[in-house]
Structure 1
């Protein structure tokens, strides 16, 4: 997933994820909070030199937000996973009850993924996902004058360039959180249109992009892709509305109005409570 931001309430009661600046069909995701990018890695723009006794995963670490997310485990057993697809992996982690603490990304010579795990242990992450992608800044040069000397010079330069391949190293650090009151990650959608009068029109409700397994939302068969419209008497137009509603109704069985496909559907959800 290329661009993502999250909000976590102070008691880890409800997780709200907001995506920023990503096109989906004819809609654009609008950041509710302006906290910066969640499910987008920070981009590395230049090669980093690997120095003795250094850890670039630590040096290039960017915390997800200023809430200093912590695991529910005081001393987690940090595990390392070699990821395959960042977007799919992030969705899987969210659905499994994890939330992202932060990310690292840089370009350098190949270095062991265990360095990411070492830093994950330092910040007490439960899981560390690592991605390595070969890259190169080489450019094939062409000899336009056609001379043999020129051809030889260009060939030697291109051979030297081919030795400069580096690796884009990315890592995401995840914390396991307590079961939430409700259990969804959402985004706010804004319409993108060629009609200036429609451009930027805020779409109703909050779009669900992940449902946490075994959460109250999952047990009520609320699904990814549904749009939350109302919980109890609270209309949901922004993240704070959802946060406030689940706190207000925690521990209760409450009506939830949502958009499923082309229909508005009402369902009952038994919210968790945090004493």
Structure 2
């Protein structure tokens, strides 16, 4: 069974009307208990209990009042992250854990609680012997004339490694790039030497579609050095300079594959 699928519930025919009444009453009491204890579900949700916010001081959430998160099956985490950034989303946080079969609805429940717009879920088979591997053990025992116990015959439930990232849509950006500050690698002979960035400016890791940066021709991998000759050495400085020139035409000084480049943009 695919771990994102909700496990099927066995159907048992009631032996009498009293059994049927007992099952109905038990179900009603369970619903009442859940209604009285609203936090029980969250505590039992591994996506909630293993959630880590990307930035504890930044309460990022959907721009919608009551968002209904959209959930997708992720493929390659790094590439998916870039695509989300390019489409105007920012990472709120992630959940990472190992467990048996977990209902996908629990990822959605947590997404609603933190007001996420999109959720990417990744699954990978973890530990636990499969039925096929158990069959090999049985065949080998038969060949050697060994006695098997019930434990040997039992199939160990498989575990899955789960990872879910939660994203919120950002307001329309002024410039529209995500950047990082690159630093040089240390060498054996200069461990005691102070290290600075191997080049000025910041590296563009994603360009938001439809943004001023994309329209001006900025590409992923460019090194942004300055805006209107005002140096940009980190993300905070970039944000400050961009706000300063809000609504104005600016010139971006960049470096692309080692060559200087100037592009005009309208913020």
Question: When the two structures are superposed, what TM-score results if normalisation uses the length of structure 2?
Answer: 0.71
Partner of 1:189, secondary structure, is coil
Residue 179 (structure 1) aligns with = 172
With over 3 angstroms needed to count, the CA separation of the structure-2 counterparts of 1:194 and 1:73, relative to structure 1, is same
Residue 49 (structure 2) aligns with = 59
How far, CA to CA, are the matches of 1:87 and 1:254 in structure 2?
A: 31
1:228 is aligned to 2:218: no
How far, CA to CA, are the matches of 1:178 and 1:92 in structure 2?
A: 17
Task: Give the CA deviation at 1:236.
Answer: 1.2
Residue 206 (structure 1) aligns with = 202
1:97 is aligned to 2:65: no
With over 3 angstroms needed to count, the CA separation of the structure-2 counterparts of 1:192 and 1:151, relative to structure 1, is farther
Residue 167 (structure 1) aligns with = 160
Partner of 1:128, secondary structure, is strand
Residue 241 (structure 1) aligns with = 237
Q: Is 1:73–1:176's contact at 8 Å kept on the other side of the alignment?
A: no
Find the partner of 1:125 among 100, 116, 137.
116
User: Comparing both structures, which one devotes a greater share of its residues to helix?
Assistant: 2
Find the partner of 1:252 among 248, 251, 254.
248
Task: Give the CA deviation at 1:257.
Answer: 0.1
Task: Give the CA deviation at 1:196.
Answer: 3.2
1:78 is aligned to 2:69: yes
Q: Is 2:229–2:253's contact at 8 Å kept on the other side of the alignment?
A: no
User: Comparing both structures, which one devotes a greater share of its residues to strand?
Assistant: 1
Larger Rg: 2
Structure 1 segments of 4+ aligned residues over 4 angstroms from their partners:
150-160
Q: Is 1:105–1:170's contact at 8 Å kept on the other side of the alignment?
A: yes
Task: Give the CA deviation at 1:165.
Answer: 2.5
How far, CA to CA, are the matches of 1:154 and 1:251 in structure 2?
A: 77
How many residues get paired? Answer: 210
Unaligned 5+ runs, structure 2:
1-39, 134-143
Question: When the two structures are superposed, what TM-score results if normalisation uses the length of structure 1?
Answer: 0.69
How far, CA to CA, are the matches of 1:187 and 1:134 in structure 2?
A: 33
How far, CA to CA, are the matches of 1:257 and 1:155 in structure 2?
A: 73
How far, CA to CA, are the matches of 1:196 and 1:154 in structure 2?
A: 61
1:142-199 per-residue CA deviation (whole Å, 9 max, x = no partner) reads xxxxxxxx99599998876x72431111111111111111111111111115363498
Residue 101 (structure 2) aligns with = 110
Q: Is 1:234–1:241's contact at 8 Å kept on the other side of the alignment?
A: no
Task: Give the CA deviation at 1:256.
Answer: 0.8
1:261 is aligned to 2:254: no
Q: Is 2:128–2:156's contact at 8 Å kept on the other side of the alignment?
A: no
Q: Is 1:256–1:268's contact at 8 Å kept on the other side of the alignment?
A: yes
Task: Give the CA deviation at 1:260.
Answer: 0.9
Partner of 2:181, secondary structure, is strand
How far, CA to CA, are the matches of 1:102 and 1:136 in structure 2?
A: 26
Residue 7 (structure 2) aligns with = none
Asked which structure has the greater RCO (Cα within 8 Å, sep 6+), the reply is: 1
